[in-house]
Chain A
Amino acid sequence: MTIADIMMLFSVISIWSLLLVNVVLIIAGYLYYIKNDKRAIPDIEGEAPFVSIMVPAHNEGKVIVQTVRSLLALDYPHDRYEIIVINDNSSDNSSELLAQLQHQYAGRQLTIINTDAVTGGKGKSNALNIGFQQSKGELIAIYDADNTPEKTALRYLVAEMMHDSSLGAVIGKFRTRNRDVNLLTRFINIETLSFQWMAQAGRWNLFKLCTIPGTNFVLRRSIIDAIGGWDTKAIAEDTEISFQIYRLGYRIKFQPKSVTWEQEPQSLRVWFKQRTRWAKGNIYVIVKNIPLLFDRSAKRVRFDILYFLSIYFLLLTSLIMSDAILIMNALGYVETTIAGFSSFLWLLAIVLFIVGTFVSLVTEKGEMRFSNLWIIMLMYITYCQLWMIVAAYGLYNYIKDIVFKREVKWYKTERF
């Protein structure tokens, strides 16, 4: 066996193992969805806990008004929640728009914090820390500035939290508001439903584990106090905080009935920037938390660290390595003698990917369409391949940031 053979073997084992893990997660997630659908959301017993909804925003003038309005319209007792918008170093008209809203809803608990380059402008984590200092709620909810939560979203999350004291956080779903705009938004819609939510549901069902998605979630104030606020260096503050919650002995639950609708990138350029940022952020968190793999107190986190490690390092390197070996083999630079799987098996694997992804869509209203089958097929040859480039570029940026010691900045998704 040559070195290329060993590398190829390693890649093949990794890819197939991850494929199987994904299949298991889809089945477990699906079963959880069915179980959860039959189960009624528990009621909030007694007085509803006071919730501070924090909305970090940076130049979000185009969307912030709609977001705040929908938050004001939640079916949670109005005197039991406050909304804190951290308008962080915005250069657009966000502050004027928010001031108008504040005036309009003078009777509601709506706080606007405007920061400048000196007091803010250091990223989402920093903005959340600023908002947290002014918050009063025993529970903290976070929504992104481009969200339109359904009325029941917050109530469902809080009800789950109050029902189980072992929960450190409860997360809901975000859906694609602009899914019908173009092919890219359709891809994103399928991606979030399948690879985000079905996988989260599967992880919860199997390991009682979830990862905070960045929006539409509540967590206990005590947790933020205990961990000393958000890590301002982390761009993927959600993943980071998830690990911290596990370490404190809590669990994170996924309640798919709590839904918020989010504006997703409509152009490839914006999508690429956003996903590269996520990839880089997740890599930061994974690298930072690798020592937890050997920490007895962090048993619960292990699966998540391994899961992220597998996706961002194992799968990425395996795909790049196997593709590189295939190309170099075709060009005659590398010789491999290793046997391979049959073409039929590879074909079955692709069918598995398509059917598996489609299964995730069945649970959503209006998604079980034949047109989605074609989109999934197209997604396999385009979007999924782009993911590899995104992840590789994220890793490259992460390394560059370490080498040049660059500081984390707001790097918001552009609006249109």
Chain B
Amino acid sequence: MKSKFTWLLIACIIVLWHGHADVNVSYAAEQQQAQHVLLVYDSLAVGSAKEGNVDALKRLLSSMGAEVTTVQLEQYAEGRLADYSHVIVMRNEANPIYESDKLLQDMEQYKGNYMHIGSSPPDQLKEALSLELKEEPSEGITLVLDRFSGTIALNHGDKLIASTANEVNTYGNIYSYKGDNASPYGAKLGRYAYMPFYNRGDMSEWAASFVIKDWLGVQRQGNVYVMLREVYPFSDLDKLRALSDQLYEAGIPFIVSTKPLFSNFDYPAAIRYAETLKYMQSRNGSILVDAPAVASTISADKSVLKQNMMSYIHFLAEHDIAPLGATAEMYWFADQYYTAEGLSFYDSAIMLPNEKVMSYLPTDTITAYSSSVYSIDVERWQQYASREKVIQSMPLDIALTINMLDDPALLEQQLAWLAESWTVYSDYKASNHRVVTDNDEITAEQGQLKVNGQTVVLQEAYASISSEHVYIEEQEASLEQLFTIQNKIFIVLIVIVLVIFSVLILIGYRMYRKKYRR
């Protein structure tokens, strides 16, 4: 009997252990330990075709959950490598004119993971990968990786991988227009990885994510989300609701990146906006808060950002809308002020490419978020991905963005493309997200939304809001009675005087007409 009981106890412990282990696995997959990456670059390549690739790489790394620190080669301080588990050296100059002895010395001692992008890979990497490079005479190439492909215009001095050791993992195939043998795009072996070039806005940007994923050791498969951008209180709200119906019927869950309001929450327009967002939420939409537009970094009152953001989150919460994270241009995440005052409430973020950098207190390190998603315009995505291919593996979470300010015809075409695509779109709220402010706590756990502990009931009913509203509270005015009486007296007096004047004009007209006619 005793032994039976012991076995039962062991069995229970095993069952409990398994249950507990399953939960841990799912959380661990989402909350992997952030890798600390040092990105050393020689030049921002301003004015060249490579301009913006440093920012693009930072965005890619951050979206993979890495904490990224950037430093220019000339600014590199001796001994820094030791602090990082991963180091990327990015060479944008075809013929490097500057070499950092400090970096070279540190590299000899460095035992962490090393990735080199661009020209002049160090000897140790070349040796480890048995890397041979070759000149590519034609400027136009096609890069094919997994189910993706895209054309790339090579820059002057860009080389391709000619050969590597057999045991090296290679990524993608590059075909030149001349039809020579294919070259791999990326190569990785052990702690070393190499990519011959990396450009912003072409297939190399996307292909690099496959190499980086393996190099960072990211295990989990990425999801594909659909995100609607540029949603404002003054957007066409009827159109937004119709669009959310369209997506719902097509079975596409979506994210709505909403521009925040900072005041006049009681106005009918604001309530109509909230009602629309609530409706979209009920149609499988996940609401995110977009960063407000920065008009000026000099004169604006910076002290109000935190309060403003919290008030908007509270406004949403009050209307049973669960904002699950933030969307912002890349520079917001690389700015101490914006991260502390405008983004500190969120554990989930979607990083958008920089459009106009308006930094206030820029920093060289981007903190990792437990959930970060990489955004790509649907227009660009259509260039890489084929509609009629099933994507086998996604290196990271991506949000395919649709800009609501775009031409309606283009919007329609993009929606149709997404709907017909064989891609399976994920529901953002199905993963875990948490937003905490001084007043509110909003969570998404396994698809369940909670606002301040209360489960959000998704209701499709849209309440139409009356336009009647007292916009300005009438102040209690002094001497109101006196003025009201006087007002009446004066009106009567003036009307009487006007009548008298009319009579006078009439008399004068008759009298003087006769007189002056003479």
Please report A residues at the B interface, Cβ cutoff 8 Å. 1, 5, 9, 16, 20, 23, 27, 30, 34, 37, 337-342, 344-345, 348-349, 351-352, 355-356, 358-359, 362-363, 365-366, 368
**B484: interface (CB < 8 Å):** yes
Chain B residue nearest to A20 (CB atoms) is B493
Are A358 and B515 also in contact (CB < 8 A) when A338-B477, A339-B477 are? Answer: no
5 nearest CB pairs, A to B: A362-B508, A339-B477, A339-B483, A339-B480, A348-B494
Size class of the B contact interface (CB-based, 8 Å): 20 to 34
> Is B516 part of the contact surface with A, judged by Cβ < 8 Å?
yes
- Which residue of chain B is the closest to A30 with respect to CB atoms? B504
* Given known A-B contacts A359-B501, A362-B512, A345 and B490 have beta carbons under 8 A apart: yes
**Structural contact, A348 and B504, CB atoms closer than 8 A:** no
Within 8 A of A (CB), among B318-368: none
How far does the alpha carbon of A345 sit from the alpha carbon of B475 in the complex, in Å?
20
CB neighbours (8 Å) of B493 from chain A are 20
Q: Say whether A27 contacts B500, CB under 8 Å.
A: yes
Measured between beta carbons, the chain B residues less than 8 angstroms from A340 are 477, 483
- Most A CB contacts (10 A, CB to CB) among B500, B504, B511 go to B504
**Shortest distance between the CB of B493 and any CB in chain A (Å):** 8
A residues less than 8 Å from B482 (CB atoms): 339
Residue of A whose beta carbon sits closest to that of B476: A337
- In the assembled complex, B235 has its CB within 8 A of some CB on chain A: no
A342 contacts across to B, CB distance below 8 A: 487, 491
How many angstroms between the C-alpha atoms of A159 and B490 in the bound complex?
A: 43
Residue of B nearest to A13 (CB): B486
Asked if B181 CB lies within 8 Å of chain A CBs, one says no
- B515 contact set on A, CB distance < 8 A: 37
Please list the residues of chain B having a beta carbon within 8 angstroms of any beta carbon in chain A. Answer: 475-480, 482-484, 486-487, 490-491, 493-495, 497-498, 500-502, 504-505, 507-509, 511-512, 515-516
Q: Chain A CB within 10 Å — which of B478, B480, B495, B502 has the most?
A: B478
* A358 and B479 within 8 A (CB): no
- Contact at A9–B505, with CB atoms within 8 Å? no
CA distance A391 to B114 in the complex (A): 83
By a CB distance below 8 angstroms, the chain B residues around A358 are 505
Contact B483 A34 (CB under 8 A): no
Let me know if A34 and B505 touch, CB within 8 A: no
Can you name the residue of chain A whose Cβ is closest to the Cβ of B494?
A: A348
Q: What's the Cα separation between A367 and B205 when bound, in Å?
A: 82
- Across-interface contacts of A355 in B (CB, < 8 A): 498, 501-502, 505
Given A23-B497, A362-B505, the answer on whether A16 and B490 have CB atoms closer than 8 Å is: yes
Instruction: List the A side residues contacting B507 at CB < 8 Å.
Output: 34
A37 to chain B, nearest CB (A): 7
Closest residue to B491 on the A side, CB-wise? A345
Is there an interface contact between A368 and B512, defined as CB atoms closer than 8 Å?
Answer: yes
A362 engages B487 (CB within 8 Å): no
Which residues from chain B contact A363 at a C-beta distance below 8 Å? Answer: 508, 512
Task: Identify A30's interface contact among B477, B478, B487, B508, CB under 8 A.
Answer: B508
A37→B483 contact, CB < 8 A: no
In addition to A23-B497, A339-B478, A348-B494, 15 A-B residue pairs with Cβ atoms within 8 Å of each other are A338-B479, A339-B479, A339-B483, A345-B487, A348-B498, A349-B490, A351-B494, A351-B498, A352-B498, A355-B502, A362-B508, A362-B509, A363-B512, A368-B508, A368-B512
Write out the residue numbers on chain A whose beta carbons fall within 8 Å of the beta carbon of B483.
Answer: 338-341
Taking the closest CB of chain B, its distance from the CB of A300, in whole angstroms, is 27
